[in-house]
Structure 1
């Protein structure tokens, strides 16, 4: 099969590789759509921390935001999975340690992360092998575009849960990229008054078209009491700013990651009785995201600006926007699209 392989920072190609075979407890999925995110870009540039900590190494196959159709099952897997539209968890725990046994496999010290950690091949390929235990079936109401937005949506939904928003609460989201906009959408669906702060005029302009209560840059942000501040940016200065902006007894959620350490004065947290929450993965939020997409409570399909084939993946990872791309921040890849389509 064809797969997109990163061989070194900035170096990649579409290669012919062995197609996966479903072993015990596994299925093979024909991949229909894959989202590209900031983590993939960091691997492509060589900046991703996992490369420097030994959790990942080149060559590697990226892709952890995906959906597809089950085409084969292992010898012990229910054949009823064949033909089902699915997405799946990125975090694959060992299943035996204390964290896994208490349901926290997404922080298992021995986990694989699909397309990210431990050499587990990702979805930027025509097919993907996955443990059946990590699958989430997609209802008909969740189309292919939404299916590939479940994983980032899970991170966003967990961030909103971490903010403990009630109807009428005022929330500020820092960073109007894909995760920030998804956070804002879920928060709005929860009945919150939602504001966003960013710096790119293009991203701010797009966010203003989505009907939020306020979209600001750092200079124009009004002096309002924010019950929760959710940092979905990659700016090392914003975690500290989030703590400054939140109301006493409010909540700060950190879902964005900077490329360098962020400094937060814990005195500002303690003396204002602020609750700080960290969000690592989508895992506990995947089912809830599928439910909200299926009901129509949240519909982020407009975030996807363009869809290209595997041959266009390198350009997307290098920051290129395809001709005719829409205004949204998200790029998708469909491995079924050939270079000649």
Structure 2
């Protein structure tokens, strides 16, 4: 099979011919139907700082946002999973460290990410632990199901920021994570403002999804554009731009929460004196717990028209590098690669 892989610790990806994987104990073999390109994949392709741990896994197939069909099972896995449509949590635990052995898998010290530390879904087949799988409803389109993982990241960010009904929330960065955060914050009953820079296509996708308060700082400076909105109850930063952290704090109300979900290429400077006097909090947000996955699958199933509108490009795996270019240029909201046959 053909797989899109990271081969060396430098910029670039390569299509390589690989053998079909065989599931080990506790694993299932999944025939991939759809796999989405993530900001993490772009960082890996460009080889920005923070992914050096991947070197020992290379060559490694990318792709961790996916859906597909279970084809076979490894030893110790219920064969009833065969034929099920699934998505899977990409963070795999080792089962051997002291945390795993004590039942505290969330603090596992030997995690490997599908598509990062072990082979992922930018290929016809992928092996994943059966315990990481979530069975999908028959009514859910598999291309939309591939959005489950990034939407769980969005849900965790909204939870971390403690968004609630009646609040005023600023989302910085209108990429797919920012878009998903805006949608879930709105579903909580919050008034949402979304800010980007030279992000016309992505802001247009949010406008089509019913959002009104959309700002492009290429047209209007951030401070001027936000002045009419006053202080925000919560700010969720999904741009990954260190220089935006202090401006985010400046528009955050006293005792407000800044949730940072963007991956930053370098440290950010923070005015700690102002932070202290304003009683503000900065919280990091990353991986969602397993229970959130089933909640998001249900949300996707109930909102397929809305969520399908955020998929800006459907491409075959062979055109994946075009999808990377579209994403890097901020033309695409979300690129979904169609790899397998329709069910």
State the TM-score, normalized to the length of structure 2: 0.88
- 1:249, 1:272 within 8 Å by CA — same for their partners in 2? yes
Aligned to 1:20: 21
How far apart are 1:255 and its partner, in Å? 0.4
The CA distance in 1 between the partners of 2:232 and 2:246, in whole Å, is 15
The CA distance in 2 between the partners of 1:209 and 1:103, in whole Å, is 45
The CA distance in 2 between the partners of 1:2 and 1:132, in whole Å, is 24
The CA distance in 2 between the partners of 1:239 and 1:192, in whole Å, is 22
Q: 2:241 aligns with which of 232, 235, 238?
A: 235
The CA distance in 1 between the partners of 2:321 and 2:181, in whole Å, is 28
Where 2:225 maps in the other structure, the secondary structure is coil
Aligned to 1:111: 111
Is 1:220 aligned to residue 239 of structure 2?
no
Q: Which one has the bigger helix percentage? A: 2
How far apart are 1:100 and its partner, in Å? 4.3
Q: 1:247 aligns with which of 245, 249, 253?
A: 253
Is 1:336 aligned to residue 340 of structure 2?
yes
How far apart are 1:60 and its partner, in Å? 2.2
Where 1:303 maps in the other structure, the secondary structure is coil
Aligned to 1:294: 301
Q: Deviations over 1:14-70 (max 9, x none)?
A: 32211111221110000000010111111111214112x566554221000000000
Where 1:49 maps in the other structure, the secondary structure is coil
How far apart are 1:72 and its partner, in Å? 0.4
Where 1:289 maps in the other structure, the secondary structure is helix
The CA distance in 1 between the partners of 2:62 and 2:197, in whole Å, is 28
Aligned to 2:3: 3
Closer/same/farther in 2, CA of residues 124 and 106 from structure 1, 3 Å limit: farther
Closer/same/farther in 2, CA of residues 11 and 228 from structure 1, 3 Å limit: closer
How far apart are 1:268 and its partner, in Å? 3.0
In structure 1, the gaps of 5 or more residues are none
Where 1:191 maps in the other structure, the secondary structure is coil
Aligned to 1:41: 42
State the TM-score, normalized to the length of structure 1: 0.89
Aligned to 2:317: 310
Q: CA RMSD in A?
A: 2.5
The CA distance in 1 between the partners of 2:151 and 2:116, in whole Å, is 18
| Residues paired across the two proteins, number | 331
The CA distance in 2 between the partners of 1:126 and 1:295, in whole Å, is 28
How far apart are 1:258 and its partner, in Å? 1.8
The CA distance in 2 between the partners of 1:56 and 1:328, in whole Å, is 31
How far apart are 1:127 and its partner, in Å? 0.3
How far apart are 1:90 and its partner, in Å? 1.2
Where 1:280 maps in the other structure, the secondary structure is coil
How far apart are 1:145 and its partner, in Å? 1.9
Closer/same/farther in 2, CA of residues 111 and 320 from structure 1, 3 Å limit: closer
